[in-house]
Amino acid sequence: MGAAPAVDTAQEILTPPTDAETMHLYNPAPSTQAAVVNEIILSHPIAVALRKDNKDWVESRPHMKIPPAMRPHNLTGGTLLGDDKIVVPPLTFQTKGAALPEMVSLQYLGRDLCGHPGIIHGGLSATLLDEGLARCCFPALPNKVGVTASLKIDYKAPIMAEQIVILRAQTTKAEGRKVWVKGQLETTEGVVLVQAEALFIEPRQAAVSVIGYICAYYANILTVNG
């Protein structure tokens, strides 16, 4: 019986919600900070413009594809998600089916994510870029999954807390199990805050090994905790 939640989680990994479905899976309680921020992000002029853009951006909330049982063990999808942190799951627009995918993401960063008073920790910006660049370029890999081989970060300006930050990423090259991508964090006014370049490599036998590892890992967690 203890393994039953793990079986459900494995099934959720293999059959995640669609991009369209993720847009309805996050419903913050009314009159909360999350509800206010969520409405601002969904109606932000950048989001509105991307919905009308002729690149046919696909809108989603990727973190909502993480099975609920796994979210507490996910850094940006669980640990750092909440009031005065990453207040709501980022809203993402991505080009689907492109040989070299592009992505734009909107996230609100709260005051509890600071390294210095009022300034977002530089390690968080590196994490956001690592994850964002990965999410952008993974569709160009054979099995849509990879690991970070290199990540170069250039800090241009401090990221002030309590604002929406835009992540823009573009896949620049794809060769078999290797893919290169660049991106940046910027203000809604277009001021560049942090830039990054990365190389991601898909592990050999990724289709089997990655899913198997994830399922086994969370089966162990759920058995121990449940």
pLDDT tens digits, residue range 52-65? Answer: 987 789 999 999 99
Q: Say whether pLDDT at 224 is over 60.
A: no
| Mean pLDDT, range 165-173, rounded to an integer | 98
Nearest to 50 by CA among 105, 108, 129, 99: 105
* pTM score, whole prediction: 0.86
Q: How far is Cα 72 from Cα 79, in angstroms, rounded to an integer? A: 6
Q: Say whether pLDDT at 18 is over 60.
A: yes
Instruction: Determine the distance from the C-alpha atom of residue 118 to the mean position of all C-alpha atoms in its chain, rounded to a whole number.
Output: 23
CATH assignment, 17-203: 3.10.129.10
- Sign of torsion over alpha carbons 96, 193, 155, 71: negative
Q: Which of 69-83, 109-123, 164-178, 207-221 has the lowest mean pLDDT?
A: 207-221
Higher pLDDT, 202 or 223: 202
Backbone angles phi, psi at 69, to 5 degrees: -70, -20
Q: Tell me, what's the pLDDT at 226?
A: 38
